[in-house]
A and B are shown apart, each in its own frame.
Chain A
Amino acid sequence: MSEPVPPAVPATEPVAAPTPAPETPSSLPAGGWLRVTRLRVLTQTFFFLVFLAAIWLTSFGRLRGWPTSLFLEMDPLVGLTTLLTTGTLYRAMLWSILLFVLTLLLGRVFCNWVCPMGTLIQFTGWLTGRRRTDQQRIALSRYRKFFQLKYLLLAVVLGAAVFGSAQNGWFDPQPTLYRSFTVGVLPILGKLGVPVSVRPHEHQFAWLVLGMFLLIVGSAAWIPRFFCRTLCPLGAFLGFLSRFSLARIDRDPAKCVDCDLCLKTCEGASDPQGALRKSECFVCFNCIEDCPYDALSFQWLPKRGREVTNPDVGRRSVIAAAALGALFFGISRTSGETTKNWSKTAIRPPGSVPEKDFLARCIKCDQCIRVCPTNVLQPAWLETGVEGVFTPVMNMRMGYCELNCVLCGTVCPTGAIQKISLEQKHGQGEWASVGPVTSGTAFYDRGRCFPWAMDRPCVVCEEVCPVSPKAIYTRDVVIQDRWGNPVTLHRPYIDPSLCIGCGICEHECPVADERAVRVTAVGESRSKERSLLLESGNTGQRAVPSEVVAPVGDTPFEGQDPFRSDEPG
């Protein structure tokens, strides 16, 4: 017994039709090839292809002003979170207003018409659930109490956001999908031989990002749209907004025979067979087409009495969850990574805003990591604290920061990495008085460096140092090697006033495991607290003596500071 047998004829024509329906202007045909759900699938496919195009275009050489971060910029949860954390709506985040208003009018149409993550999840559910009986389908699409979890997750996110920590990126489907493709899917394609980039990109914690992604998508095999129904904080926000929507699916109780077939392919598990849960409905139109009795329709200004207007979640639970978000903020800041205990490996790309503002803005979408041509940008684990997981940090073993590149700030949807010009990055032109943007400082490990420790020439680091004059200079010494032969060595030094922390010296250092020259975050220009050198007051400039126009390799050190005047008397 698999399928309930629908009655051959509709049970009874309603005696008194409640509405004089016939002349209503119909926008969309019900049956035939171009029925509403077909149109919907086409739309979903279109937007999924748009997403694929966006992620493909987010790349050196293809990024020609395409709005490749569009799904992030239209995401009103990104908008709300960063509005709370920064008090502003950054540049193209204005698009999120569009989706905000659309949802207020029509409900969660985004979830089943646009969201590329939703499309992927729905497809997975369809693919894995084809052998299910109608009874099983109906059972799997009944509303469950635990679907309220997403509202609690949303409250946690907003609770942390009020205090200045953007944490929507853990589960917000737009950042999560971008991140999963950047860190997981595309590099895997690269490993399988697809020419994604000339030098294959690799990413630390790819296993974690991919694992989360597989769970998010794969859980649809267990319960259709499990992530969308249960965990998606964007869906929760849109669901909350849906309480205001002016149109919804409406059931005509006079036509309904309570067969529950409308639940067969209900995406949102929104109880179309009863009082519709507005906040759960994805407006997929499946129920309307599944209803054998035409009891369901999408209606403008339907009666209020036949719906569950608000999300099914208690006020106290929401307050408790928001308090948990505030607690998360407190706990993560208590560990000190943003203040006293900041990590030397928390090296942010040039153009990044000061760390507290960074954590207020970064949504872990990893578009910067995607566009980075050298692979130096990597998703962080705990380098910048638990708040900063999956945010971008530079790992000089993976790559280095290309001097003539500012792409990461160009694609950043929230301004965690600001859109800066090459002139500003290099500290030239009108930025000459400010100096270059620096991300850290290089230091030598003399015990591992060939000319310092092993009587062997090298200075690859000096060769590749891209600034002019070079931040790496050498002092020449003539020594006797262990057999008594004279050897001239160029021993390298760093001039911290010229080093920009790009890390190419570390990247190219031949001491391959623990490099003999390594960049740490100190000296970055985005905040005074992490600076290395005292800046000159008159100009605000980093103290570069004006005589330094060429490296002064051979000048020996002066013996004594001439200004030191406290010889014991």
Chain B
Amino acid sequence: MAEPVTWRSPHEIKRREFMRYAGGTVLTAVAGAGLGLALHDGRDGRQYFEDLANAETVTLPRYDLNNPAGPNRIAVVHGQAASVMVKAAFDTLGGLDKFIVPGDVVLVKPNVAFDRPPEMGASTSPEVLSAVIQQVRECGAKRVLVADNPINQPEGCFEKTGLGPAARAAGGEVILPRPERFTDLAVGRLREGDQVTGEPGEALDRWLVFYEPLRLATKVIGIAPAKDHNLCGASMTMKNWYGLLGGRRNQFHQAIHEVIADFPLMIKPTLVMLDATRILTRNGPTGGSLADVDTTQSQIVVGTDMVAVDAYGWGLLRRRGRPPEYLARAKRRGLGEDDLGLVDKVEFNV
């Protein structure tokens, strides 16, 4: 019987022919083995979970400037016509053009949390939003972005609060919270140029943030309604930043004051505005009855220190008892002034 296995080719084979014959084999073997070796993952669980915990995060830049009227200045403007009140309030801080310069991309962050008409006081007033956008545009802003991550369904919230139509009519762009627009944020670590400084918050370290509008923006203005809140007492300009976060924020209620006191650490906005043209005094933060809404004190409050603005705003809810703990916490951490005696308040009617 002949040999069944021969290791020599039955026919003469030239080198060039062999290259042609075996070239593909050798290339595939080298490419496949090389790819496998190059992509080899030798990590054990220790390294895997360390890497997972240290996965890439984004940081926020500072959006704040020095308040030309002094850091503790807040403007309290009483009146009925939103556009007049907004202009007068900005002027009290030295004029909006000290904060917004031509070419800026400005994120305006209203509270759009609930699918309710504006009269219910559960969301920022569309007239105030509209007035702010107009003022910002007059300062030469290139784009005005309006964004929030509502609790209720986002499209419905923006339409039924009237904030979406008002933003578009005034020349703003609404950015809706699509999942791909969220990224993990290193809370408390702020970017100035190439430098990143700061420590994580007391309660928040890494958290999913609605990053897309923050990435595009060069300036940020928060506009919060003044509302009762079932757990933390009041929802005002500090709590407003809750709406830029995603993920399991229903866990925030386990340490609500720590979380809210982390917000002035997390974001340094250019300006914050408390919209008290309507005040939701009961059944907050959702409300649901016109009887819960106080329109008799119509005013807006503007400042650069959200703790100071909220310390003033607390009084508008006319409660007995201590102010929300998050104000004192923020003060203790040097994140703002909660003592109204130390706040430079300029108050008038228009």
Contacts and interface: CB of A to CB of B under 8 A. Distances in A.
Interface stretch (B82-90, B135-143, B228-236, B302-310): B228-236
B37 A94 contact: yes
B203 interface: yes
A301 interface: yes
Given A28-B4, A104-B29, A537-B200, A300 B9 contact: yes
8 contacts: A30-B3, A83-B39, A100-B36, A244-B25, A246-B21, A246-B25, A534-B252, A565-B325
B255 A302 contact: no
B250 to A, nearest CB: 9
Interface string A74-106: 000001000100111111011011001100110
Contact of B318 (A96, A528, A534, A569): A569
B203 A534 contact: yes
Contacts of B7: 24-25, 27, 300
Given A30-B1, A351-B45, 14 more contacts: A19-B10, A27-B5, A88-B41, A89-B39, A100-B33, A104-B28, A298-B5, A418-B44, A419-B45, A528-B247, A531-B248, A534-B255, A565-B322, A569-B318
Interface string B214-251: 00000000000000111101100000000000011001
Given A244-B24, A420-B44, A566-B234, A89 B4 contact: no
A7 interface: no
A543 B9 CA distance: 72
A319 interface: no
Contact of B10 (A18, A31, A543): A18
Given A297-B2, A537-B202, A565-B233, A97 B320 contact: no
The 8 closest A-B pairs by CB, nearest first: A418-B45, A26-B3, A88-B41, A420-B45, A537-B205, A301-B9, A244-B25, A534-B251
A476 interface: no
A519 B322 CA distance: 40
A565 B318 contact: no
B16 interface: no
B337 interface: no
B68 to A, nearest CB: 33
A105 to B, nearest CB: 7
Interface stretch (B46-54, B71-79, B111-119, B159-167): B46-54
A349 to B, nearest CB: 12
Nearest to B34: A97
Contacts of B44: 91, 418-420
Interface string B8-31: 111101000010011011001100
A19 B325 CA distance: 96
A303 B11 contact: yes
A86 B6 CA distance: 42
A21 B6 contact: yes
Contacts of A244: 24-25, 28-29
B42 interface: yes
A38 B48 CA distance: 46
A21 B4 contact: no
Interface residues of B, number: 71
Interface string B181-211: 0000001100000000001111111001000
B48 A25 contact: no
A433 to B, nearest CB: 10
B324 A302 contact: no
Contacts of A18: 10
B154 interface: no
B319 interface: yes
A518 B24 CA distance: 58
A245 B25 CA distance: 7
Nearest to A91: B42
A409 interface: yes
A31 B25 CA distance: 32
B313 to A, nearest CB: 14
Given A26-B6, A415-B48, A418-B49, A566 B29 contact: no
A566 B208 CA distance: 30
Nearest to B35: A83
Given A564-B233, A566-B321, A300 B201 contact: no
B268 interface: no
Interface string A341-356: 0000000000101100
B323 interface: yes
Contact of A420 (B3, B11, B49, B233): B49
A421 B3 contact: no
B178 interface: no
A485 interface: no
Nearest to A90: B41
B257 interface: yes
A302 B9 contact: yes
B4 A529 contact: no
Contact of A565 (B200, B259, B324): B324
Contacts of A568: 282, 319
Contacts of B317: 569
Given A101-B33, A537-B205, A285 B4 contact: yes
A424 B49 CA distance: 10
Interface of B: 1-11, 13, 18, 21-22, 24-25, 28-29, 32-33, 35-37, 39-46, 48-49, 52-53, 187-188, 199-205, 208, 228-231, 233-234, 247-248, 251-252, 254-255, 257, 259, 262, 282, 317-325
Determine the interface band of chain A, counting residues with CB < 8 A from chain B. 35 or more
Given A533-B251, A536-B202, A299 B6 contact: yes
Contact of B254 (A31, A79, A533, A537): A533
A67 interface: no
A36 B208 CA distance: 63
Nearest to A294: B2
Contacts of B231: 564
Contacts of B13: 301
A491 B122 CA distance: 42
Contacts of A298: 4-6
B205 A101 contact: no
A537 B201 contact: yes
Interface in A286-326: 288-289, 294, 296-304
A24 B205 contact: no
Contacts of B21: 246, 301, 304
A250 B11 CA distance: 12
A340 to B, nearest CB: 11
B248 A294 contact: no
A494 to B, nearest CB: 15
Interface string A425-438: 00000000010000
A540 interface: yes
Nearest to A18: B10
Contacts of B43: 91
A36 B4 contact: yes
A555 interface: no
A415 B41 contact: yes
A535 interface: yes
A461 to B, nearest CB: 24
A567 interface: yes
A563 interface: yes
Contacts of B248: 528-529, 531
A468 interface: no
Given A246-B22, A540-B53, A566-B233, A31 B1 contact: yes
Interface in A7-50: 18-19, 21, 24-28, 30-31, 36
Contacts of A26: 3, 5-6
Contacts of B323: 565
B37 A97 contact: yes
B311 to A, nearest CB: 13
Given A105-B25, A421-B46, A537-B204, A24 B4 contact: no
Given A26-B5, A299-B9, A301-B9, A420 B204 contact: no
